[in-house]
Amino acid sequence: MISVRGVSKRFGEKLAVDNVTFEAGEGSITYLLGPNGAGKTTAMRMIAGLARPSSGSVSVNGEGLRDFRDTIHEIGFSLGAFSRNPAHTAEQHLLWQARLGGVPKSQVAPLLDRVGLDQVAKRPVGKFSYGMLQRLGIASALLGDPKTMVLDEPANGLDIEGIIWLRELLVGLAGEGKCLLVASHNLTEVEITGDRIVIMGKGSVLSDTSKDELVAAGSGPRPLEAAYVEITKSSVEYAATGGAAE
């Protein structure tokens, strides 16, 4: 379980996250949505301990992140597809993480197979496609079989087969009782797999409700999209007009 309580974050004069409160529960997939610049990545970085809140608190499975003796079994993260040494192979990347976390190296090969990278385990990750890097990041998050996982845009760069694989993986993990917090812009996958949806805009929480309640609030052929657009319409910083140019 992830609990974010009254969290704010300032970078100099800029208030990036403002009094944010939400929870992601066990056995469910909670999606974190919002326009670019909404504060989603900053919130996730604070959950990961990569940024310290200016105020408020974050707890994972009832504890502060710094209080864990065995973090790798409590929470796993995939927050950036390019946070790797390009000279390392996929196998080497996971092996050093396993060594640091006290995970038996025998778990690395089955994990590479689980994410579909077993055939390229010896290839330097600098030669990986974006989708392959995403799979490697998910493997890192799975290492140690944590109770809780935080994933930032895990479907980016995946082909159709990869998206279906990811969908089945997330649903399966939630079925095992794990807590998943996923940032996404893919509303189709959110509607298929989501249990709860937190929408942020301009650093604040605009909506925090179940997926079914949010869909019911929408209208037309794509009710989730309609509800999302209505909630975030005053928070979009990079708006453009559609249609053909005049």
Domains, the chain, with CATH or none = 1-74+148-156+179-237 (3.40.50.300)
* Average predicted confidence (pLDDT) for the chain: 93
Model-wide pTM > 0.85:
yes
1-42 confidence digits (pLDDT tens): 999 999 999 999 999 999 999 999 999 999 999 999 899 999
* CA 5 to each of CA 18, 205, 243: distance values in angstroms, whole numbers, following the listed order: 11, 12, 42
192-211 confidence digits (pLDDT tens): 999 999 999 999 999 999 99
| Structure tokens belonging to residue 190 | 């959110």
Q: Which residue has the tokens 């037309």?
A: 220
